[in-house]
Structures are given as structure tokens and as C-alpha cells.
Structure 1
Amino acid sequence: MYKNSLRPGRVLAAVTVAQFVFALDMSVVNVALPAIRTALGFAPLDLSWVVHVYALTFGGLLLLGGRACDLYGRRRLLVTGLAVFGLCSLAGGLAQEPWQLVAARAGQGVGAAAAAPAALAMLTTTFTEGPRRVRALGVWSAANAAGGALGVLAGGLLTEYASWRWVMLVNLPVVAAALALLPAAGPAEERPARRERQAARERPDVLGAVLATGGVGLLVFGVVRTEARGWTAPATVGTLAAAAVLLAAFVVTETRAPAPLLRLGLLRSRWVAGANLLVFLAAAGQFAAFYFVSLYLQQVLGLGAAATGAAFLPFSAGLVAGTVVATRVTAARGPRAALVPGAVLAAAGLAWFAGIRPDGGFLTDVLGPSLVTSIGTGLVLAPVAAAATTGIAPHEAGRAAGLLNSSRQLGGCVGLAALATVAAHRTGTSTDPVALDDGYALGLAASAVLFALAAVVATVVLPRRRPDTPGPRPATPAEKQPEGTPA
């Protein structure tokens, strides 16, 4: 546990700002890609790596980042990760060559992989399980949702009225604000002598870290390349097969490791397993929906970058509204009470979205389904974090946070690649608005199916009872810490 002198309000403010900048960075770059290609001279097939390399390093290192923050201190990892993220954002904004921007994006992913699980773990260990934690997670989830949605608006405005470089440089003041808030949150974590002796005796799970990072990294790499090579290409099949082998070896290794990177026993909890499966499906549907709606607005309706960003404002408002409602429902009745109706509502909104027309408009084809989908998605985002950390002991908060972030990142990456392939197969090589509309509509319908499956998971897998008991199991002797010791 953290020391009592920590100020929960300042902790919440710091981790919320940190999560906002990570979510912002996931979407702010997308709208600027055409301008980046022109300015730096990217080859057409290389441009996608501006997005994909971030997903590759972020997704591949999240489990390692989650475990590291348990062993070496959450605030240490949060500060280090934020600093790396900020410096790489600066490097990206100053890039003069394509490889420099791609390298900077890779560095951003490394920093985010260290800081994101540390931020969530710091939040869950600062606020005890119950209504206070639910409210804190609600604020954190609202920042996550707002960052992702407002990133599209910010990307459009910055690209059109300033420069594409500002989609990278905009991160700097936000990172600076998060770092400035951390000292005000209370004294830094300490590692008592007992922890030092224990860490010296404990053999690090190096093999597990290598297998997990390599397996997840190859999975992301194989999936993102399907956009250019297809799912049945030998290179794709070989990469995904290698990823499967490494991940299977990781599972075997973790059952035998004395101090595993991911204790597989966590997944025996229906809260943890159900929440991670649910967030994988929801992220797959949400990321794909953002992608298809953005393309519909620009390539079918003919809106510019700034107008496209502005069109996402109702979506942002709906996400925040849904998160506020979900926080209240979860505090009163538990996560499941918000997750089930939220997933159903998001599925209904995306099914409505699938009716987009080539001769449509914002008011007739976008506004209504945007509000329904975003409110439903907001109802899912806050409770899923609460569900995934239910019953988790403080010494495993980083593991649980890294697992949840990995599930979200992998879901978004795999879902977007898979549904983009489905839409492209329907569209073919045509650039006619009618053909493009047909492909985007199919992709949105598939996103609706993913949220419907998420609703099934919430109904069937998550326990009906309201969670009110801590810890799925006691700590092992090697994992125990003295009372009052920071994790």
C-alpha cells in the first residue's frame, strides 16, 4: 500500500492527465498522415508505420511494464515512462526524415508501455476497492475516452491551421503537467531493505519477458501487415504462427517461473478473465468504428481535416456522459450493471451507423448513431477497468493493469486490421464514393457484432453478485511485503 501521506486527489489528477495524453496520441496522428507523407516524402507503403510502430512497441511491452512497476515502484515507472514519451514526442516533432519520425514513434510506444500500467496500478492501490475506487476509475476512464475522441479534433485543427509537427509537439505541455502534479501527490516511493534483499534473491523472469514481448510484438506486426499483404500471404501466416509458438511457450514458462511476469492464476477470477475478454472485443469494435467513420466523413462526404475533427465532438460528449452515468451505476450496483446495457447500446448505435449512405450528411447519417454509440461505449469503459481490478491484491496491481492495457491494445490492433481487410475486400480497388460507402458500412456492421459479443461476455462470464471482497488469493511468501511497504 502507498503511504497515508499520499494525496489521493493529486494522484488522480496526475494519472488522469497521463492517461489523457496516451489516448490523445493514439488518434491525433491519424488525421495528419497525408500531410506527413507530403512533408517527409514517405513511400505509400511505409506511411502506415507511423501508426503501426507505436502499436507494436506499446502492445509488445505492456506486460513487461506492468510487472516492472510492481517490482521497482509505480511512480518511478510513471515518471520514467512519461519522460521518455515526452522526449520522443519532441524528437518526432523535429523529425526531418521518415526514419526519424518512425523511430520517435517507437520510442513513444516504449514510454507509454512503462507509464500506462503504472498509472492504472497507482490509481487502484491509492483508492481502496469500493465506491471511491469506482469514482476514481470513472474519472480516469473519462480522460481516456476524451483523449481518444478529442485527438481526432486536435489532429484536424493542428494539421489544417498550424503544421503536422504539432500533432507530436502537443504532447509536451500535457506530459509536463502530469510530471508537475506527481511531486504534489506526496513523498516518493521507497524500497526498504527487506525489499532490496528480496529483489536481489529473486531471479527475474527474463525468459517470460522475452517470450511475451516477442510473441505480442510478432502478433501485432503480423496483423498490421495484413493491410498490405493480406491474411493468407505466406509472410503473414508465418509471422502469426511464430507469434502463436512464442505465446504458447510463454504460457508454459509462466506456470513454472518462481516469479512469473504474469501469474496465470489471475485468469481464474471471472472478473479478471471476463473484463479482459470484454475489453478486447470492445476495443476492436471501437478502434474500427473510429477508422471507418473518419474515412466516411472525408472520402465519401468530402469533409476536410478540421471539419472531420469537429464532427467527432458529439462523440466525445457522449463518451464523457456515458462514463459519468456508468460511474454512478457501478458504485451503486457493481460493474456488470453498466457493462451489459452499455455494450448492447454501443452495438445498436453501430448497427444504426451501418446504414450510412453515399449521398448522406452529418445530421442524417452521423449525429444520431454517434451519440448512441458513444454513450454505450462510455458505459463500458469505466466499469471494465473496475471489473478487471476487482479482488486484485496491491502487490499484483501492475500485473493486472498491464494485462488490461494489453487486452485493449491488442483488441484495437487486431480488430482494426481484420475489419479493414473485410471492408477493403468489399470495396475492391474502386475509389468511387458508392463503393467506399459499401465497404465502410460493412465494417461498421462488423463492429456492431463485436460489441454484441462483448454484451454476451458481460452477461455470461462476469459474476452476477456485486464484488465486495478483496483478493482472489493471499500472496505467496516470496511476494509478501511488510505492512506499509509501497509496491
Structure 2
Amino acid sequence: MRARDWGVLFAMCGAIFLEGIDVAMLNVALPAIRAELGMSTGELQWVMSAYVLGYGGFMLVGGRAADLFGRRQMFVFWLAVFLLFSGLGGLASEGWMLIVARFVTGVAAAFMTPAGLSIITTSFEEGPQRNKALLIYSGTAAGGFSIGLVVGGLLTSIHWRWVFFAPVAMSLLILIAALTLVPKSRRPERTGQRIDLAGGITITAAIVLLVLGVERATHTGIGWTLGTFAAGLAFLAAFIAIERRVAAPLVRLGIFRSGAVVRANAIGVLFVGAFFGFQFLVVLYLQELRGWSTLQTSFAMIVIGLDAVLSPTLTPKLVNRFGNARVTFGGLLLAALAYALFLPVGADWTYLMMLPGLILLSLAFSLVYGPLTIVATDGIDEADQGLAGGLLYTSFQFGAALGLSTVTAVNIAATASGTPAAMLDGYHAALVVPLAAALIAGLISAFGLRPRKRPATELGDDKILATHRSPS
């Protein structure tokens, strides 16, 4: 790649790393935040839920906005908003101030993330070069989350406000890099076209309500949960009806005729849901049952961050040899194996007994996340790249909310009391959820397998084949 290409990739990787590290650091800092601001458990839940609602609810609109108003313009503007409200979160003196700041930060990430992904998919030619860029990008995203667990623990030991101030400094550096290195994108021609406001409002309302229903399922009654889901589905039906009629739809429904896109998004929901649910259970196990400190837990989990090294090194070679579909399928099987190895977890397990499962999970993440991103955007028209990225990240976010809510519900239902034996029973029951999700994702992935044609030209064992269109 040219120096300019590396510059673009560097700026976009910085942004996705920022998004991952921001979420991970906040997870670690929640107890300290509650202690200083005097927040109840319900209020503390909203610190995370507000971000999830903003991020998941506006992702599709954010992806389409990048296509309609210019990718670089959207990326730079919303990165600046992310910077501003992250800083305001660090200055919060009341719980409600922090919740509002996190919601706006989530909205900013919802516009910034698909814009960044579409900058990569439109800056690099489809094929080996784009695949390499996407695998580096996905490895950086995963590494940000893993590293954020440790960095969050270190910063929280100083003061929890540094968890918000650190992303401000990093955002500023990325903003300067984007303005310097990313070329200005041509504003798309929209003469005579109307912006699909009705579609934007209905799909945002639908996703916000559906994510809210999942997020609050374990904290509210069945009636409230069913009512929220019903309202979300009603808005979704209204959105589909609007998109079928308007001349310039927010979401071109024809994109769902691609089996590869549908499979990639379905797998994304299940795979990310399983990962977040599993991680949540392991953190509870280590801290609540075993009495490990936040920093000890962070360092124990950082081994999952090996995928940041494996994604740009090992995964391209495997994709080169076997294709995206087979690599993804293999990664899902490894994820299922990793979760299965944790099923018999005991109250006296040593870290060495946990390590094989964690290493397998890091390998699985490196084999699934990047190839899934490639499949979800491969063959999509340039005008719809922001939409494709928005769809995928909406699936990821909804999957995270669904996974966390489901394992929490199962864990609570299976824990009869607060005794160590009851807590362990709860973990055992809840660990079945990520295992089942990974197996279902593997089944869906199997439908994308088909005989692979032998490519005519190879570029070397460390590059993806130039003439190869990987099966999806």
C-alpha cells in the first residue's frame, strides 16, 4: 500500500480502537463511579444502557448519513462530538449528567464508526488490498476492547474521571490525523432527492425500543418488556412500509437479497452476543466468587487481546488458503469449544485451567470478526458501503445487548441464594447460553460453505490471492 493508504488506515484504526477502549474502560470504572456520585444500581445500569441505546439506535442512520453527506465530513464532525461529550462525562457531578453525556457519546459513535468503515471500503480496491486493510482494522477493534480492560483498571486506580479524559486526548490526536491524512470525500449528488426523514425516525425508534426491551428485560416486569418489543416491532413494520414506497429510501431493502449479507449480520448478532455474555460471566466469576481485584481480572482477560496480533498476521494466510466462509466457520467452532471448556468451571480453578479456553476464544475472534466484516461489505455498491457497515455494527450492538441480557436472566433464575454453591450453579447454567449461540452461528455459517475454485494466481503466502473472490 502507498503511504497515503497507510495514513488513512492508521486514522480509521485509531477511531475504532478508541471506541473499543472507551467501552471497556467504563465497564471497569462503574463501581468507583457509583461510590462517588451516589448512584443507585438502576442509575448505574443506565450509564451503560444510555450508550448502547445511542449507539445501536442511530447506527443505521449514521451509516446512511455517511453515504449521503460525505464520509470524511461525517467522520470528522462526529469524532469532534465524541471528544466533547467524553470530556463532559468526566466533568459530571450528578448521575443524570453522566447518563446524558454517555447517550450523546453513543450517538456520536453510531455516526463515526460506519463512516470510518466505509472510508476503508471505498479507499481500498475490493480484493486483497481491502481484505488486508479490513483484517488490520478488525484486529485493532478487538485489541482496543481487550487493552481497555487493563488501561481502565490502571486509570480507575488513579481516579475514575481519567477514564473519560483519556479518550479526549486520544480523540484529539485521531482528529488531527484524519484532517491531515484522509482525503476529502466528494459530496454525493442529491439533486431532486429528498432525505428519507420518516424512514430515519421509524428505524431509529424501532431499534431503540428493541434494544431497550432487551437491556431492561431482567429489571422490569414481563408486561413492560412485551409492550416495549411490540412497540419496536410496530415501528419496524412502519419503516419497511415507508422504504417500499419512497423514491430514495434510507435503507435499500434490496441489500437483504444477498444471502451473504443476511448470514453475516445474523452471525454477527449471535457471535458478539455470545462473546459479551461469556465475558460478563467470567468477570462475575473472578470478582464475586473468587474475590479477584479489578486489575487482576483485567490482566487475566487480556489474553483474549491476542486477536489483535493474529488478525493481521494469521487470518490473511488462512483466508488466502481457505476463503472467508471456511475461516469464519472454523472460528465459530473454536468459539463453541472455548465456551464448552468453561462449562465445568469450579470454585477452585486455577488460571492455567482457564487459559486454554481464553486462548481459543482469542483465536476464534481473530478468525470470525475480520472475515465477517469482509463478507458483509464485499460486492456492495460504493454508494451503499456506509449502509452495509451500519447494518453490521447494528447487529453487533444488538447482539451485545441480547447476550448480556440473556445470560443475566439465566444466571439470576438459576441462583437460588447468594451462597458460593448457588452462585456457581448460576454460572454453569448461564454458560450454556454463549455455547448455544456459537453453535447456532456455526450452523448458519455452514450454509455459506460451497466448493471453492482454485485461484489462478497467488501473491505469496502472506497475501490474499489477487484473483480470489472468497466464498460467502
Residue number among 199, 203, 206 corresponding to 1:212 in the alignment = 203
Q: 1:37, CA displacement in angstroms?
A: 0.6
Alignment of structure 1 residues 107-126 onto 2, 5 Å:
107-126=104-123
Note closer, same or farther for the CA distance 1:77–1:250 as it changes in structure 2 (3 Å cut): same
Question: Does the 8 A contact of 1:336 with 1:462 survive in 2?
Answer: yes
CA distance in structure 2 between the aligned counterparts of 1:269 and 1:400, rounded to whole angstroms: 11
Distance in structure 2 (CA, Å) of the matches to 1:369 and 1:201: 56
| Residue number in structure 2 paired with 1:412 | 400
2:215 to 205, 221, 224: 224
* Counterpart for residue 427 of structure 1: 415
Task: Label 1:202 to 1:6 Cα distance change in 2 as closer, same or farther (>3 A).
Answer: farther
Q: CA deviation at 1:463?
A: 5.5
Alignment deviations for residues 404-427 of structure 1 (CA, whole Å, 9 cap, x no partner):
110111111112111210111111
Secondary structure (helix, strand or coil) at the match of 1:442 reads helix
- Match in the other structure for 2:426: 439
TM-score (normalised: structure 2):
0.93
Mapped contact 2:135–2:311 kept (Cα < 8 A): no
Structure 2 counterpart of 1:347, one-letter code: A
- Name the SS of the counterpart of 1:29 in structure 2: helix
Which residue of structure 2 aligns with residue 164 of structure 1? 160
Q: Which amino acid aligns with 2:404?
A: L
In percent, how many aligned pairs have the same letter? 36
Superposition map of 1:326-345 within 5 A: 326-345=315-334
| Distance apart, 1:465 and its partner CA | 4.6
User: Residues 45 and 339 of structure 1: is their aligned pair in 2 closer, same or farther, counting only changes over 3 Å?
Assistant: same
Deviation at 1:199, TM superposition (A): 2.0
- Whole-Å Cα distance in 1 between the matches of residues 451 and 171 of structure 2? 40
Is the deviation greater in 59-68 or in 439-448? 439-448
Q: Which moved more, 1:460-469 or 1:243-252?
A: 460-469
Task: Measure the CA separation in 2 of the matches of 1:63 and 1:166.
Answer: 31
In the TM superposition, residue 81 of structure 1 has moved relative to its aligned partner by 1.3
**Displacement of 1:265:** 0.8
Letter of the 1:199 counterpart: R
Contact map agreement 2:72 2:182 (CA 8 A) in 1 = no
Contact 1:73 1:189 in 2 (8 A): yes
- 1:381 and 1:18 mapped to 2: Cα distance? 17
Segments of 4+ moved more than 3 angstroms: 461-470
Out of 435, 449, 468, the residue aligned to residue 448 of structure 1 is 435
Q: Post-superposition shift, 1:434?
A: 2.1
- Give yes or no for the alignment of 1:384 onto 2:372: yes
Please say which of residues 24-33 and 136-145 is displaced more in the overlay. Answer: 24-33
- For residue 182 of structure 1, what is the aligned residue in structure 2? 178
Aligned pair partner of 1:243 in 228, 232, 235: 232
Q: What's the C-alpha RMSD, in Å, of the aligned pairs?
A: 2.0
Contact 1:145 1:320 in 2 (8 A): no
Please, which of 184, 190, 195 is the counterpart of residue 199 of structure 1?
190
Query: In the alignment, which of 58, 62, 65 is matched to residue 61 of structure 1?
Result: 58
The residue aligned with 1:283 is: 272
- The one-character-per-residue Cα deviations of 1:246-291 (angstroms, maximum 9, x if unpaired) are 1122122212221111111111112211111111110110111111
Which residue identity does 1:256 align to in structure 2? R
Q: CA deviation at 1:344?
A: 0.2
1:370 and 2:367 correspond: no
CA distance in 1, matches of 2:34, 2:425: 27
**Matched letter for residue 395 of structure 1:** A
1:32 and 2:29 are equivalent in the alignment:
yes
| 1:314 pairs with 2:332 | no
Q: CA deviation at 1:6?
A: 9.2
Within the alignment, does 1:458 sit opposite 2:462 as a pair?
no
Q: Look up the SS of the partner of 1:48 in the other structure.
A: helix
Shift of 1:464: 5.1
1:483 maps to what in 2?
A: none
**Which of 122, 128, 132 is matched with 1:135 structurally?**
132
TM-score by length of 1: 0.90
The within-5 A match list for 1:82-97 is 82-97=79-94
Q: Is the 8 A contact 1:270 1:462 kept in 2?
A: no
Q: Which residue of 1 aligns with 2:344?
A: 355
Task: Report how many aligned residue pairs link the two structures.
Answer: 458
Quick one: structure 1 residues 29 and 186, their matched pair in 2 at CA, closer, same or farther if it must change by over 3 Å? closer
Aligned twin of 1:302: 291
Q: In terms of mean alpha carbon deviation, does 249-258 or 47-56 score higher?
A: 249-258
CA contact (8 A) 2:79 2:175 kept: yes
Q: Per-residue deviation at 1:332?
A: 4.1
Contact 2:325 2:448 in 1 (8 A): no
User: For the residues of structure 2 that align with 1:115 and 1:108, how far apart are their CA atoms?
Assistant: 10
